[in-house]
Structure 1
Amino acid sequence: MKALAAPGRLEWWSHARERALFSLLHLRQGLGRQSLHRPFTAQDVPRYSFCAGPSPMLPPLPWHLPADDDRLEALLKGVVTIFGYSWAWAPDGSCWHRAPDTGALWPRRFFADIPFQSGNPCGDIRMAWEPSRLQHLVLLAMLAQQAEPVVRSSAVAAVEAQLVSWVEANPFLTGIHYISPTECALRLLAVCHAMDALRPLAPTSDRVWPAVLTLIAGHAELIRKRLSLRLITPHDTLAAAVALIYAGSLFPEMDMAERWLAFGHYLLEEETPRHISHDGGSQEQGVGYLQFCTDLYGMVLTLLDHRQSPVPEKIRQVFARSRDFLDAFRNSTDGKLPPIGEGEDEHALSPYMHFIHPTKAHSPGLTTFHLSGYSILRGRMRDKAIFDHGALGMAPRYRHGHADALSLLLQVGARDVLIDPGTYTCTGHDEWRTYFRSTRAHNTVTIDGLDQAVQDGPLAWSLPFDTHLVYKDETPEGKITVIARHYGYKERLGVTHLRGVSYEPPGSWMIWDWLTGTGTHHVELNWHLGCRPIPVEGGYRLEGFDHPLLLTVEGGTSTLCEGSVQPVGGWASTRYGSKHPITTLRVAYTGAIPHEFMTRLRFV
């Protein structure tokens, strides 16, 4: 009933049709019939140009490989670090079903019957999915190309053994790795690139190419069946489109290749560009997912250009706009992106393959992305603020959005001052999922302990907020002012939040929060700090700067919170699945509305 009411009848009906497909597939599997494809044998291999061709068939990509002998040695041994946990390949194939975070074994039964949402007995499914993307095999193959002959031989053997092991340990439609079309798509892409990179190194096993063909045929057709019934989130749809174009282009001899190629082009040209705004931002409101999509666009454009296939100009424009948007958000020191929204640990092919512009220094001033809802204010002391006045996410479910309206990030030089705590988890640990996507976990104001929107399970929202950019100005002297408003509390509590952010050279920042409405409310302003505050007279001195940086807040009672559990507060996550304590400055007020807070940061 909730699904019927929230996303609308069209999405509910698509979901129902997908469940009908699952029932049919399960019935056929129970009768011992291969519903979509048959396993391939060594006799089939010579028919396929991708398997038999002597030269690489994929174009070069922008790799930034690590110069790390220890990493190569670990990969040769089958050891991979998964979000801080050690995962090791085992010849019996059990490793593909073992959860790195809990050690539990995921069930090996029909994929649609496996419970994987929060509360399941095995842990966060994202942890188990990661090694089965097989992206570490691509990295191993790329590193092997630069290694000594003995190492290259070991790398070829390692890639072949793990790939064959995965296919044998994961019969078609059995196990958790068929649950998500996106996981199937990313695995298909990784296998194509890993095997193409190994081609000059002469693969030796007569089992590896049949395993590749079996995986490609099953994955591509399952993706096509699933996506033809129900479109999922934009970045997932894009991954599926790119995988289908890869499968149809590289394996034209397969019976379904023309359908894969046609449907992949349809998704690429008609469905996926809609989520990239004309200013380059993503309607999903996740900077990490935007980089993920940009890399997928780059991969498919490179492939199609290499094969001299026509590409719609709008796809090239989407790719160019997204790269320019991300370039504006990158740190000039290390090129990293801020963890706004979700997707910071998602990779199209590898964490060492990205389509990015060379990192460059930006001039002081104001840059506003009106459609995406961000303003970037750059000062004269290498200080930068990112002001979020955008929407919650992409309708109708806003799956990967955070309740962060009017949140502010601030960086001075290479030091983070006001930070976004990140994501931590998507499908595990309900209480932590609830916190990290909440309003309280962002640098903005919370009213009566409520989020700006209503969390509807771990992957959806209801009652989304509206935002409005009220005013912006930049003077010749370098003073910058941006004012925005959101209405997330208007309907439920009768309160509206207006925030103004002002920069004045050479390095003074002021944030003014004005709350209008009626009644008595508990109001809480949270500042999540990337450096340690030292209480001083009138405020807090922030550590780590050559000159003292003073933080002061007026309008409530200030307390410092670090690593609290009851209530949750003072935490950040720099990578998926891990968290660590930080210091959060919490300023609370209980009383009548209207009310205001005034926050200042300045060097003294």
Structure 2
Amino acid sequence: MTALAWKINRLKLMGPGEVAWRVRQLAWRKAVAMGLGLANYPPAPALGRFGASFLAASGAAPAGALPPGIDAAALCRAADGLLAGRWNVFALRDAALGFPPQWNRDPRTGMAAPMAPGPSIDYRDASVVGDIKYLWEPSRHLELVTLAQAWRCSGDARYKDGARTLLLSWLDQCPYPHGVHWASSLELGVRLLNWCAAWQLLEGDIDGDWRQRWLNAVYKHCHFISRHLSRHSSANNHLLGEYMGLYMASLQWPCWPESARWRTMAERGLREQGLQQNWEDGVNKEQAVYYHHEVMDMMLLCQLAARANGSSFPADWLLRLERMAEFLAALMDTGGNVPMIGDADDARMLRLDAAGMPPYRSLLASAALLFGRADFKAKAGALDDRNRWLFGDAEVRWAALPDPAPGAAEQPRMAFPHGGYYLLGKDFGTPQEVRMVADCGALGYLSLAAHGHADALSFTLSMGGEEMLVDPGTFAYHTQREWRDYFRSTAAHNTVQVDGQDQSQIGGNFMWLHKARATLLGHEPGQFFAGKHDGYMRLRDPVMHERVIRFDAKRNTVIVEDTLECFGEHEVALHWHFAEGCQAETAGQTLHMAKRSKGLLMSCRFGDGPQLYCASTAPIAGWISRTFDSKAGMTTAVWRGTIRGSTTIVTEIALLEGASS
């Protein structure tokens, strides 16, 4: 797609108010390029007015005074790796980037990004910056926190000196407001969050020059964010993250006359956006589970910081956060698997656990401690180091929450009507569990629907904690356009594709034009789901897709009826995506899928029987992406055929126990 085509598509999704606002932003970017309106000379900070720490065993506590249970050795090993110049950045593992790294060089491609004024850089253009995700990730400074934690754990001056070197090298190489690290306010917001945590861990051991340069940079970050907030069609998780950074910084460093105004702005924005971006039933409106997690984490961290400083967010805001945890718990099967619905970029707001507990479990552990919920504790399964740092009395509070009785069944919420997700299945939380999640939600949030996928009426299926039918994930963002488009396409989901087209029309990497609208027709918890979507009504001969899913708990069978209402002839494909480790055999119209002791026997009398793909590139099919920028082959089955007029296609799925692989 050309830059001109992208701009035309982007303009189509803007209202008059946004167009006027964009024009003002353009004028502001030009002013920044001319050096106008900048905070080149921050006022002197009022020292001694720092906020209270939201981390346990920080601030005035001596080095070595740690929250109970912390794996100090793991933190020191991680810090040693950094000091040796070894970094983990998405698919790059143990990469030799040096210490400190070259902050403006893409570690994946080696391309050096330009040092023009940040707001003027087109960071979406890989020919200009390389892969911007790889550039931005190290500059969020999660590793600065790791070094500070290692110093707190050990008192070893190497880690404190390493933190100083890392931060000052970034300030030297990334001068305000030049380069890609000044191009997105969200990046500044996440960086401020990590600076807060590192400051709290190092406080009292930051010398004069280091302290002064750091505080000057904080001021410039806050000044920049306050004037470059994401608005209108861009007001998604980015805006919440910008407010998060501004709020955390104004709490931690209330050192300037503007600090009170920044805190008021950020607190008001967090209150508004926390309610606006998340449905009443707890589903994040971006329709992407990983972004649901990120927004939850932002809200959680802001509440903990507020509480540490004698404040709190309102009761309705906290209730929304609790409902978000309930949604996450409902999605998670008994094996801890969560469907990869929508986009995911593997981002962590604040990494405090060197062992790397899965983020969804860790977040549910946080919710268990914050809300006193034993059911969240059961889903989380264990207390991790991240929560030991966040909750000073974590061990005591965790132990006070009752454990579930042996063999006790889980009672998840079964319907999320605002978000559009519905559960079917039985024996939740037990080894006999069957858990299906049906998607009848919107494509995404606001006019861009940036992080949604064309997955209306798709569903996932797991058995006893083993994933069987899956959502294949995301893989790429700004680069590798063909792969970006595949992973969010209709063909990459367990649903019906008509005439080789997507339900919704892609307009750019984070932009959808025509959007399918899904409507619920019926739901009986555990047993029945019916919905429809109008994504193919845009065709010359319009097609309405209606799907009915029936689960028979006694027979352990699933019946899927796909009705396509139309007058003319259409090519139809039913796509089914199976988790890694599934072994497939076909016989005529039947497919047998086995994974360890579980299996599926699928039968569909449509077309000439299933075609199987695994790691295919022509066409692209049979891929799964568990982590950003990593993909692997898995089995995809497709039933293809031609319909003439309204047609119902029936797929029978028998769920098998004791199947051999």
Aligned to 2:202: 198
C-alpha contact (below 8 Å) 1:440/1:446 kept by paired residues: yes
Residue aligning to 2:341:
340
User: How many angstroms does 1:250 deviate by?
Assistant: 1.9
The one-letter code sitting in structure 1 at the alignment partner of 2:47 is R
Alignment-derived partner of residue 624 in structure 2: 572
Within 5 Å, give how 1:76-475 maps onto structure 2. 76-85=83-92, 86-88=94-96, 90=98, 95-146=102-153, 148-149=154-155, 152-199=156-203, 203=205, 205-227=207-229, 232-334=234-336, 336-343=337-344, 345-350=346-351, 352=353, 354=363, 355-356=366-367, 357-360=376-379, 363=410, 367-380=414-427, 381-474=432-525
Q: CA deviation at 1:517?
A: 0.9
- Give matches, 1:60-75, under 5 Å: 68=74, 70-75=77-82
1:401-436 Cα shifts (integer Å, max 9, x gaps): 111000111111232111111111111111111111
Distance 1:364 1:205, change over 3 A: closer
Residue 97 of structure 2 is aligned to residue 47 of structure 1: no
Q: Secondary structure at the match of 1:401?
A: coil
For the residues of structure 2 that align with 1:351 and 1:591, how far apart are their CA atoms? 55
Structure 1 range deviating more: 172-181 or 202-211: 202-211
Name the CA distance, whole Å, in 2 between partners of 1:81 and 1:547. Answer: 35
Residue type of the alignment partner of 1:581: G
Contact 1:494 1:517 in 2 (8 A): yes
RMSD: 2.8
Does 2:574 correspond to 1:533? no
For residues 550-603 of structure 1, give each alpha carbon's deviation from its aligned partner in whole angstroms, at most 9, with x where no partner exists: 232331231001112222111111111111111110111123132233223224
SS of 1:500's equivalent in the other structure is strand
CA distance in 2, matches of 1:585, 1:67: 46
Partner of 1:593 in structure 2? 645
**Pairing 1:505–2:553 present:** yes
- What is the alpha-carbon distance in structure 2 between the residues aligned to residue 305 and residue 76 of structure 1? 34
Aligned to 1:559: 611
Partner secondary structure for residue 165 of structure 1: helix
Distance in 2 between residues matched to 1:359 and 1:549, nearest whole Å: 29
Gap change, CA 1:536 and 1:14, over 3 Å in 2: same
State the shift of 1:365 in Å. 8.0
| 8 Å Cα contact 1:293/1:348 also seen in 2 | no
Kept in 1: contact 2:10–2:511 (CA 8 A) = no
Alpha-carbon distance between aligned partners in 2 of 1:174 and 1:143, rounded to the nearest angstrom:
31
Counterpart of 2:171, as a letter, is V
Residues 435 and 65 (structure 1 numbering): CA distance in 2 closer, same or farther, change over 3 Å? farther
Work out the CA distance in 2 between the residues paired with 1:124 and 1:159: 26
**Alpha-carbon separation, structure 2, partners of 1:229 and 1:311:** 23
Tell me which amino acid in the other structure corresponds to 2:552: E
Q: CA deviation at 1:63?
A: 11
Q: Structure 2: how far apart are the matches of 1:62 and 1:518? A: 68
Matched, 1:524 2:573: yes
1:332 and 1:359 in contact (8 A); partners too: no
Partner of 2:382: none
Asked whether the equivalents of residues 418 and 527 of structure 1 are also in contact (C-alpha less than 8 Å), the reply is yes
Give 1:536 shift: 4.5
C-alpha displacement of 1:36 = 1.7
CA distance in structure 2 between the aligned counterparts of 1:76 and 1:593, rounded to whole angstroms: 66
Q: 1:9: how far off?
A: 1.6
What are the superposed Cα offsets for residues 89-130 of structure 1, whole Å, 9 maximum, x if unpaired? Answer: 545x66211212212111122113323214424432011110
Question: Match of 2:299, as an amino acid?
Answer: Y
Q: Distance between the aligned counterparts of 1:173 and 1:265, measured in 2? A: 25
Per the alignment, do residues 119 and 100 of structure 1 end up closer, same or farther by CA in structure 2, a change over 3 Å counting? closer
Residues of 1 paired with 2:206 and 2:413: CA distance? 57
8 Å contact from structure 2 (residues 124, 478) kept in 1: yes
The 2-side partners of 1:187 and 1:287 are apart by 23
Judge which range, 78-87 or 254-263, deviates more. Answer: 78-87
Alpha-carbon separation, structure 2, partners of 1:52 and 1:246: 11
What is the letter of the counterpart of residue 423 of structure 2? Answer: I
**Cα distance in 2 between the residues matched to 1:512 and 1:440:** 18
Q: What's the counterpart of residue 533 of structure 2?
A: 486
SS of match in other structure, 1:38:
coil
| Matching residue's letter, 1:264 | A
Mapped contact 2:457–2:495 kept (Cα < 8 A): yes
CA deviation profile, 1:342-396 (whole Å, cap 9, x unmatched) = 2351222127463343243753787111110001123232121110011101121
Partner amino acid, structure 2, of 1:358: K
Whether the 8 Å contact between 2:14 and 2:233 is mirrored in structure 1 is no
Give the partner amino acid of 1:391: A
Structure 1 residue 341: Cα displacement: 0.8
Which amino acid letter does the alignment assign opposite residue 372 of structure 1?
Answer: G
Compared with structure 1, are the counterparts of its residues 25 and 320 closer, same or farther at alpha carbon in structure 2 (3 Å cutoff)?
Answer: same
Partners of 2:137 and 2:68 lie apart in 1 by: 22
Stretches of structure 1 lacking an aligned partner (at least 5 in a row)? none
Q: 1:84 to 1:501 in 2, by over 3 A?
A: same
Residue 38 of structure 2 aligns to a residue whose secondary structure is coil
Q: Where does structure 2 lack aligned partners over 5 or more consecutive residues?
A: 1-7, 354-361, 368-375, 380-407, 657-661
